[in-house]
Amino acid sequence: MAEFKITETGIKDLVVIEPQVFGDSRGFFLESYNKKEFAKNGLYYNFVQDNHSKSEKGVLRGLHFQTQYSQDKLVRATNGSVYDVAVDLRKNSQTFGKYYGLIISAENRKMFLVPKGFAHGFLTLEDNTEFMYKVTEYYHPEFDSGIIWNDSKLAIPWPLEEYGINKKHLKLSTKDSKLQTYMQFTLNLT
């Protein structure tokens, strides 16, 4: 049974997970999820759906969340790399409005556990990047929401220049290009 290295991010419940990798001349093997091992680390999740996306370099997806039926997410890259970001939207959290970002790649095999109450998004840093995530709730389009990726209040330092991505040529969905600002989101909190 594999073990997982769990790294705290400084934001409660938001952790980086590194699986144990067994490799030899044939390749490698790893467990990307093991319910018993996660539970040993206090990570109790009931995943109900796996999602898989493929994107070219410069695609930015997010920052997404569901206003009802919130999802815990366990994310990883199986090909290529992303800059992955989670923003704490839990109104009673000491880190409300804070974000954490990291590079997740097929090479470093890191995973990011993004709990309910966070907005989540990622920027693909290579062509043919494949991104997979397990979720604890089904997708409900009627409760789909988000915050615009380049919100000035959040000031997330997306690594565009470092990866040769021109801001003018970012690939966003129509939906993602029209998301609300962080201030609009906070004004709607009850």
Q: Which residues are catalytic?
A: 64, 133
Task: Give which of 172, 176, 150 is closest to 58, Cα–Cα.
Answer: 172
CA separation for the pair 106, 83 (Å, rounded) = 12
Name the token pair of 83: 């800059």
Name the 3-class secondary structure at 38.
helix
Tokens of 56: 């070219």
Hey, what are 82's tokens?
């992303």
- Write out the two tokens for 14: 């938001």
Q: How many CB atoms lie within 10 A of CB 152?
A: 9
DSSP 37: H
Partners of 77 in the β-ladder: 131
According to DSSP, residue 175 is labeled: H
